[in-house]
Structure 1
């Protein structure tokens, strides 16, 4: 049972960070080809581990060596993906991210949203929390209305569908005409990679619009994870 929990936990981490959806490459995505690279390298690992899960679900006794082999294969997959992705990550630095702005916002973005650093996914079987792909960005905002506190909200858009989000809060007075230099981390949402390849912009929205869509975004993410668990037999006791 401990062996199964070990492998199931690993697969769940993969599901949350990369998905399993046969992603094709999408050069227009704000995340580039990096999610596809990680997914491709993990397909073989996932399939081989799925066989172990099926065996355990059928009541077969799985030895601890199998869990260690899964660990070794996982580490090798991550290392290979990192070696392929790092040159692409380096090329992304300095590029800009497209954005749109909703009406009625109390500010205007007055510069490009520029990528200053790319942090590759970090996944370890021994870590409770793993990290998806992250883009560190910076841009400038000018306020058209006084705000205290000031808050910025955006969705990460996959086509017309918001699949990720971020909030920024500044607990001070920003008056009309004030400029704010923003530094933020755009985190790749924990969704199937086929949706990440369609992420082409950030959409800045009001607090009301953000709250109105937040629950739906979380529900979709939960549905995608449940479908993954069912595909690999992770929902079976």
Structure 2
């Protein structure tokens, strides 16, 4: 899942872009760092700070993020003039011995410093905060998804999708069906639209809730396919 957070403060609309939204550093291919590009598309000079955090994904897709010293971000802060483009370098400084893909967020956040001497400006200032994805690999990893559990509860179908592999997986064109003997029941495509673009990190279980499917009973075999 990709994040762009907009924070509210006071006067003037400041705007910048921070890209790409996702990058992977592949240590086993000799890569040590990645670069993100920041561009100020506003008419004002803006101050921006950068930092890296870890990612632990909860079953509902929300994340627990903590500061980390495994990723060095340089520069940690900058003043970006109107129309200016700059690159931000992120370098992996952690132990390169690990058994699954490591996931981080690289945060670019505008800080509320008023550099203008015009005290008559009024309005709303939108402070932007990007949380772009960074993955670290020390070998070629793969995802492995399965329906680990499902239950029909409170007139809803609760489906738990587990990624037991060691790489993240985005979901596109998902199909979920349940089998019992020669019987097959699928979750309607309309219901599955909520899964489009969802991300499941390595060794993580996601919980999705659907409307009940006619004829489905507990203890059938669940299967998931995707592009």
Which structure features the higher share of helix residues?
1
TM-score (norm 1): 0.28
Larger radius of gyration: 2
TM-score (norm 2): 0.29
Which structure features the higher share of strand residues?
2
